[in-house]
Amino acid sequence: MKTFDEKHIKNIVLLGSTKSGKTTLTETMRFEAGLTRRRGDISQDNTVSDYHDIEHEKHYSVYTTPLHTEWRGYKINILDTPGMDDLIGEVAQAVRVADTCVLAINAQSGVEVGDEVIWNYIEQFSKPSIMVINQLDHEKADFDLCTESIHEHFGNKPTLLQYPFQTGPSFHQIIDVLKMVMYEFPNEGGKPQKKPIPDSEMEKATKLHFQLVERAAENDEELMEKYFENGSLTEEDLTLGIRLGMRNHDIFPIFCVSALKNMGTGRLMGFIDEIVPSACDLKPETLESGKEFSFKDENQPSLFVYKTIVEPFLGKISYFKVMSGTVKKDIELYNQNQQSTEKLHHLFICDGNERIGVEELAAGDLGATIKLKKTSTNDTLSPRESNIQFKPTQFPQARLIVHAFAESKIDNEKLGEVLKEMQEEDPSMRSKYSKELRQLLVYCQGDLHLEIIKWKLENIHQLKPQFAAPKTPYRETIQKNADANYRHKKQSGGAGQFGEVSIRISPYTPDMNMPGEFSIRGEEIVDLEWGGKLAFYNCIVGGVIDLRYLPSIKKGVLDQMEEGLITKSQMADIAVFVYDGKMHSVDSNDISFRLAGKNAFKMAFEEAAPKILEPIHEVVCKVPEIYMGDTMTDLQNRRASIQSMDPEGKYQVITALVPLAEMDGFSTSLKAITHGRGTFTWSFQNYQTVPEYIQKELIQQYKKEEFV
């Protein structure tokens, strides 16, 4: 396998909505380069990138697949990504390590919902970008509609480098305003003939050419001076200006192709070779330490693991980008994240499920290795003394939370273990067991994402999971003062148990008034692990309870606060004053006072006007303006309190406070209301009292469940 240097390696990520033709474009690029003799077909389940069983069954991409092609002395690494927005985690990993983003746009529909979601990640990383209008041979192709939608959504940075002479089934000619030539393709596609631009198109082509020249000149003062002096730029200067514009995220060239008919693909690959920035041309990135890192200035080898998958028979595969130096087979590097040494016994480049062994990989290249002991996604491997640690990929916040369970206890335990393993492959999901709710929770991106998780559990791990809405983590507290006395006494021969406690409980606030009738001799403010406070006060006079038993009384109170009472929800923000009691010189011990404290607290709580608090989340929705009214109606039906509405371009940003109990199904609902164009983020804000009618319902529901 030929080794390419850093200047001859180009890393691109193919992005776009489902049915934009990314996988077909990948097949055509490899076919055009002569790496394959025939192109795969999605419907035949024989494409290089969609090779997993689930992709064959679903007939769409589920994983980001690395592969490569070679074109005129350059190596082009391609990351073919899924188009579903629920699989945005796969996109995030790929965009993180790609040098250029190629956004495929369906000529029939223009910019689609998924393209908008994907573009947010392109903007986040400010990567050089190309837009490829695909399927121009389709009878419903509309090039003008596509370009209008591109400018409508992405502004004036997208710049035409090509346009079709005609679209639809007769599409076979592309006018290139960079080269100022027309490419005419044979009916079967492949290598085109270069022809002069027709007279009827010369005025339009010339106008677009000079628009391109102006855009290129804007990126460099010297180029601008040349443009003003000569009225144009040489092809070399134009190439430089476009490259700088792409590097600065100011020019997004637009290309025309029919991937299915292999028309325009070679020209696209030529542009990637000649003009698209390589990794060494890009701006330095910032390390975790805050320092700038430019791999062309570093001679020592380092790599960043951007993705991990587990395959049967092979085990864990770690996909990485060489960030500096040369990584050679059998090299030992230090995992800066896990503080451990790893030896790379194998090096591969990947084409779908085919892995080609190599001896070394140069800076900027993408590769893979297997069976690393402690290395996971987002880890950095470099020499121990280098202290190089790259920033991790930031994965999107979960939009859907469900309770996962199996039919048997054994399967439930296995389910929890398998879900933890799956997180390593898919960091956009996570799972955890909630001790409070006594439920295994799965956090994911939406219904489709959950469907894929379910498929993997059933087909790979032979589990039969079920999913349901999770319980809500309510809190219990009180509204008034209450006193209680409890005596714990047990005698069964020999030493017995005795402890008596008198307490008062009050609602706790940092500025609460202390009861004047008590002499406070000790104070402890406990930060509860589930949130809120317990204020514990020693008001004992005369030594009626030995000080050594106060920690046991507090433990008893905490036991009851964790268990809850009226709905078995954890308690918070309560002050406890221990002011009296009795002990026995022989029978008193820690367990006696722990039980006495717990039961005294329980009795007082029942008399202190208990109330239930519910978690409130701040929900920030970004929706197209035309869907604002329906979105607000949906939120208000969920007992939301609208906080603000702010315009952002053609979108409205709605901020609302919504009870967590009402958020079930919101992701699906918002997607339906906005036809997939709406997005939201949410974060916990505080606990608030539930309405009285809901409190009654919750207490009745708990009593029914307890009875059952």
- Position 496 scores a pLDDT of 87
pLDDT digits (tens, 9 = 90+) for 669-695: 999 999 888 889 999 999 999 999 999
Return the CATH number of the domain spanning residue range 476-609. Answer: 3.30.230.10
The C-alpha R_g of the chain, in whole angstroms, comes to 32
Model's pTM, two decimal places? 0.88
Q: Is 164 left (phi over 0), alpha (psi -120 to 50) or beta?
A: beta
CATH architecture of 6-283: 3-Layer(aba) Sandwich (3.40)
Q: Does domain 286-386 have CATH number 2.40.30.10?
A: yes
Domains 400-468 and 613-695 share a fold: yes
d(CA 535, CA 11): 58
d(CA 176, CA 196): 10
Q: Is 330 exposed, middle or buried (0-12, 13-18, 19+ CB in 10 A)?
A: exposed
- Position 628 scores a pLDDT of 95
DSSP 8-state symbol, 427: T
CA separation, residue 601 to residues 214, 490, 604 (Å): 78, 19, 5
CA-closest candidate to residue 467, choices 477, 475, 459, 457: 457
- Asked if 581 contacts 545 with a C-beta cutoff of 8 angstroms, the reply is yes
- Position 52 scores a pLDDT of 86
pLDDT > 90: percent of the chain: 76
- Position 227 scores a pLDDT of 84
Cα 562 to its chain centre, rounded Å, is 33
- For residue 310, give the amino acid letter: V
**Domain limits, the chain:** 6-283, 286-386, 400-468, 476-609, 613-695
145 HSE (CA, 13 A, CB side): 13
- For residue 644, give the amino acid letter: S
d(CA 540, CA 546): 9
CATH top-level class for 400-468?
A: alpha beta
Q: Does domain 613-695 have CATH number 3.30.70.240?
A: yes
CA-closest candidate to residue 22, choices 132, 108, 146: 132
Low-confidence ranges of the chain (pLDDT < 50): 708
Tell me the backbone φ, ψ of residue 352, rounded to 5 degrees. Answer: 65, -125
